Structure 1
Amino acid sequence: MIKKNDLFEAEITAMTAEGSGICRADGMAVFVPGTAVGDRCVVRVVKVLKKYAFGRLEELLTPSPDRTTPDCPIAGPCGGCVYRHITYEAELKIKTQRVRDALERIGGFENIPMEPILGAPSRTRYRNKCQLPIGLSKNGEMQMGFYAVNSHRIIDTHTCLLQPEVFDRAAEAFRAWQKLSGESIYDEAAHSGVLRHLYMRCGEKSGEVLVCIVANGVKLHGEDLLVKMLREAVPEITGIVLNINRERTNVVLGRELRTLWGKPTIRDTLCRLEFEISPHAFYQVNRTQAEVLYNKAAEYAGLTGAETLLDLYCGTGTIGLSMASRAKKLIGAEIIPSAVENARKNAAHNHVTNAEFLCGDAKDAARILYERGERPDVIVIDPPRKGCDAAVITTIAAMRPTRVVYVSCDPATLARDLKQFTAEDYNIEAVTPVDMFPGTAHVETVVLLSKLKVDHHIEIELKMDELDLTAAESKATYDEIKAYVLNKYGLKVSQLYIAQIKRKCGIIERKNYNVSKKEDAKVPQCPPEKEAAIMDALKHFQMI
């Protein structure tokens, strides 16, 4: 049995999802960063767990034919780029295999209709956003760069091959200003000091540059000098802002912004649409590959101009808006109110008149569409890394779109969700990996799902007022809801209040139930604290 600090010779035969090579010792899998498939090497064991171990490359005996000379001196310690030591062709093969393995092993799929991975035109300088943590070195000087793997130890960085060169110039000017001004550095443990992060964004097409200093305070020493030095070093700069973050948190940005010079936003163009980007706004980090991804999603959507398109998890609306001109109507749904507001502004700014954006989750969107007598023909989903909740997939299937386009940033959760989609009578028509982040372990995937035997389905119209009660109503009685609220919150709620909240949630009441027969009757409205308690009860009884 292997143990810590053992040395052994082995060949790397595969890669993990995180980009480490895999070899075996005494029948146990050992994960070794910085290796390539085909490497023959000496490995030192650094940690042993029950079923696998971690190793360190001690000596390279025979290099893999995929190996190349790393072009970044800190690629290993930084850990952001796990593939800078192999060719791009090899990296794309690994990412393709990662998607295939997830669909086969987690999803249980065979004969997967995989299309070739869509690689990027460049592995370098493609990121349009950068956030550099700031700290103190052992000798008491400011350091700024990236966190080492699995730590909050800063690797001091003066250039990053993933960032545009303009960010390097801005960062060096910021370093020089800090030395002259003597502005203090934030200490996480003591929650003292001022400078926390340097945050930068640029427009690939517009060329505009925004520099944002994240500070544990409302003012910097020498703000005028900072503006002068940044503008001299970066003529492209269009805005310099101070972001105030005085919270004990790992979240980079605080809520409050103060403009030091210029404007607090930049503009950029994506899929022929112009977007205004603030420090808080979501925008694809690799704009060029985002267009590739969106174009593939649009191809899979197969819009002819006659369809209603529903964009779930729409965020600021970029995917849906890029397809709006090909659809009869676009409906976006997003649970974050600020993102919905941004989506509406983006639609108005780009003169998109056939789009509307709803604030809510998939169930909210489904209810609203049902009540209006609408049914989406195509649904696009781009969920977070955790994938879709099972209830969301069930809701999508209940809406019965002819096509679903799934955009995923995690092959494992994608495979899990596709398994449920196929159980809901959807078939996987095509799968295309897209390399949005060359050099890193991340890979995006676009999947086309189509409804099985859609021509054989029969449309049945059910009028809810013809039914005695809804399925949701049958799950809990009024007395059960009252008891739950009283026991948990100590609040007494009436049947009238429960009925109001049920109607608000789209749970249809029986005709004339709990409605006064007086035409001019004043109906008391449920107080907010009781509404929240009733909502919790409805969730508890799985009625919403």
Structure 2
Amino acid sequence: MEKNKLYELEIDSIAEDGSGIGRLDGLVVFCRGMLPGERGVVRILKVTKSYAVGKAVSISTFSPHRVEPPSCPNFARSCGGCTFCHLDAAEQLTWKRRRVSDCLSRIGGLPDAAALVAPVLPSEPVFRYRNKSIYAFSPAAGGGITCGFYAPNSHRVVPIRETEGCLLENEMSREIRDFTVEYMNAYGISAYDECSGKGVLRALMVRTNHRGPREAMAVLVIHAKTLPGMEAYAAALCAALPFVVSVYLCANTQNTNVVLRGDLRLICGKPSIRDVIGAFPGAPSFEISPHSFYQVNPTQTERLYELVYAFLPDEPQLIYDIYCGIGTIGIYLLSRLREAGKAQERLPILAGVESVSSAVSDARRNALENGFPNAAFYCGDAADVTPDVIARYGTPSVVILDPPRKGCDAALIETVLASNAENIIYVSCDPATLARDLKRICAAGYLCARIQPVDMFPQSGHVETVVLLSHKKPDSYIHIDVEFGEGEGKIPVDKIVQRAEQYKPKERVTYKRIKEYILEKYGFKVHTAYIAEVKRSLGLPMYDAPNAVEKLKQARKHPTPEKVEAIKDALHYFAVI
């Protein structure tokens, strides 16, 4: 296969970014714009050892599931905001379900994955659903500025035409976007150009609520320390669109893809907007600040949280919410239990863990404002903080894991397994890392009782998945009659205690017990990762991470010789080695 040459290609699958997947001479070829079942001529743009990238020149056989023209006109102009606009809604769900089951089978080694994965819970609506939009500014072709979304794999902005808009943005977002572009053009404010390093306006982030009085937040991101006239813009925006209750300025002069990096300053209005999740009496409300993690599809968020509620065990006493963000899942569950008739004193204890300090502050405030003063939230890396939370509260009724796309830290999973939780509810936004983590959890004695994908992002390849994991139960029981005493076929009474001691199972040695032993004997603490490193060096059985990252963002710290010897001593003490 050679670059720039033409080849006939048949597509048999589709990638998350919407590219059709075919094969030529045993090599995988990605071709954006083509769908499974289609055949056509492609020009090869890139060839590597493991894959190639092509561009469709002509299509001779079309898929019956193709939407033509694509549902959003910006898609035809190579807008990267959506990836599945050329595929009908029902077939989008088919491929999302297949992607989840393929990952669970191929990466997770889950038998009968295709049968276990339920049909994807569809979204209603499939357009205008986003409560958060980030628009990039760029110089307009005829002068002035425009804004839109980046083309795939580039920083070229595809402008959103005023007459067409974006099919994912809601009405409040559209009005704020249109007002901002018109205002900045009227006052001659330039857009930042990455190539030349000149210009001011970088991006506009809009957040909106779903229930309650309409509220929206606008965050203007600039490549400068300040913007003269920002106060006047904020006042004009709030006057023209009264639902705008919060306006921020973010001074981001760094060479980074992170939008809200730099000094963030409230210019006008409230520091946050308020939204309500659920339509039931006593449904919880949440304060959403610029950095808050909050699901972007509010209708599907309520359906997803209802799934988590349905997966709860009967009469839960203690709930751990790991990667809890601003506390939405845990607080929603407490609200549903209260609405179902649970008295305040009979509600389960909720303990959340989150690494972002501002999110923890929001979670604590949200819990208080929704009437749950006993809910507790702890700040720190989940792998570091969760062992202390478990040591304080004990074995949970259920652990909820809602990690970012990279999945759960291996040390955290070991901690959760050591907690002896009867149930784990895993909320995943990436099927590959979900499969990796489920393989580790199922190897420790859990079964996937329910696997339910949820279409949180129509018109894209992303899919959310909720999994209920429960401890394995025996398939059957054998009844045995035993006689004690002297004589043939009987067990001597004086041997009972001796045999009981002989066959008594060893008490499980947890990382917590090893840490406590070392602290008491040596007077210093050791990290869970240090214990794991020593165990690994001794060849002891560990839970492997088959898809572990090849390169860490920061160099891994290693235990000192003193701590290594202390850990080995503890392992000897507990008869692990």
Q: How big is the shift at 1:472? A: 4.6
Matches within 5 A, 1:76-87: 76=76, 77-87=78-88
Inter-CA distance 373–75: structure 2 relative to 1 (3 Å threshold): closer
Aligned residues of 1:289 and 1:436 also touching (Cα < 8 A)? yes
1:400-424 Cα offsets, whole Å, 9 max, x none, are: 1110001111101111111111111
Question: Quick one: which amino acid aligns to residue 251 of structure 1?
Answer: V
Find the aligned partners of 1:284 and 1:86 in 2 and give their Cα distance: 24
Inter-CA distance 255–320: structure 2 relative to 1 (3 Å threshold): farther
1:332-386 Cα offsets, whole Å, 9 max, x none, are: 1122222211110110111113411122344545433454362111000011111
Match of 1:125 in 2: 128
Matches within 5 A, 1:1-150: 2-69=1-68, 70-76=70-76, 77-112=78-113, 113-137=116-140, 141-150=144-153
SS in structure 2 of the partner of residue 241 of structure 1? strand
State which of 359, 364, 368 in structure 1 corresponds to 2:388.
Answer: 368
Match of 2:325 in 1: 315
1:425-466 Cα offsets, whole Å, 9 max, x none, are: 11111111111000011011111111124999x9998999xx
Aligned residues of 1:14 and 1:22 also touching (Cα < 8 A)? yes
Find the aligned partners of 2:527 and 2:104 in 1 and give their Cα distance: 41
Match of 2:257 in 1: 250
Matches within 5 A, 1:447-526: 447-453=467-473, 471-472=514-515, 499=523, 501=525
Count residues with an aligned counterpart: 493
Match of 2:447 in 1: 427
Q: How big is the shift at 1:262? A: 2.7
RMSD of equivalent CA atoms: 3.4
TM-score, structure 2 as length reference: 0.77
Match of 1:378 in 2: 398
Q: How big is the shift at 1:227? A: 3.6
State which of 157, 169, 190 in structure 2 corresponds to 1:184.
Answer: 190
Pair 1:238 & 2:256 matched: no
SS in structure 2 of the partner of residue 450 of structure 1? strand
SS in structure 2 of the partner of residue 103 of structure 1? helix
SS in structure 2 of the partner of residue 133 of structure 1? strand
Moved more, 208-217 or 124-133: 208-217
SS in structure 2 of the partner of residue 240 of structure 1? strand
Match of 1:358 in 2: 378
Q: How big is the shift at 1:202? A: 0.7
Aligned residues of 1:47 and 1:54 also touching (Cα < 8 A)? yes
| Structure 2 unpaired stretches of 5+ | 338-346, 478-503, 532-555, 571-577
- Identical aligned residues as a percent: 40
Moved more, 333-342 or 84-93: 333-342
Inter-CA distance 84–189: structure 2 relative to 1 (3 Å threshold): closer
Q: How big is the shift at 1:225? A: 4.6
Inter-CA distance 371–179: structure 2 relative to 1 (3 Å threshold): closer
1:441-498 Cα offsets, whole Å, 9 max, x none, are: 1011111111124999x9998999xxxx9635889xx9xxxxxxxxxxxxxxxx99x7
Pair 1:268 & 2:265 matched: no
Find the aligned partners of 1:217 and 1:286 in 2 and give their Cα distance: 32
Find the aligned partners of 1:344 and 1:506 in 2 and give their Cα distance: 32
1:69-104 Cα offsets, whole Å, 9 max, x none, are: 212222151223111111100000000000010011
Aligned residues of 2:130 and 2:297 also touching (Cα < 8 A)? yes
SS in structure 1 of the partner of residue 514 of structure 2? coil
| Structure 1 unpaired stretches of 5+ | 479-494, 508-532
Find the aligned partners of 1:270 and 1:40 in 2 and give their Cα distance: 45
Inter-CA distance 239–315: structure 2 relative to 1 (3 Å threshold): closer
SS in structure 1 of the partner of residue 58 of structure 2? strand
Find the aligned partners of 1:370 and 1:91 in 2 and give their Cα distance: 41
Find the aligned partners of 1:62 and 1:462 in 2 and give their Cα distance: 61
Find the aligned partners of 1:370 and 1:156 in 2 and give their Cα distance: 50
Find the aligned partners of 1:345 and 1:98 in 2 and give their Cα distance: 38
SS in structure 2 of the partner of residue 115 of structure 1? coil
Moved more, 132-141 or 376-385: 132-141
Inter-CA distance 25–502: structure 2 relative to 1 (3 Å threshold): closer
Q: How big is the shift at 1:258? A: 3.4
Find the aligned partners of 2:264 and 2:50 in 1 and give their Cα distance: 49
Inter-CA distance 506–176: structure 2 relative to 1 (3 Å threshold): same
Matches within 5 A, 1:286-325: 286-302=297-313, 304-325=314-335
Find the aligned partners of 1:270 and 1:454 in 2 and give their Cα distance: 39
Inter-CA distance 409–224: structure 2 relative to 1 (3 Å threshold): closer
Find the aligned partners of 1:225 and 1:472 in 2 and give their Cα distance: 58
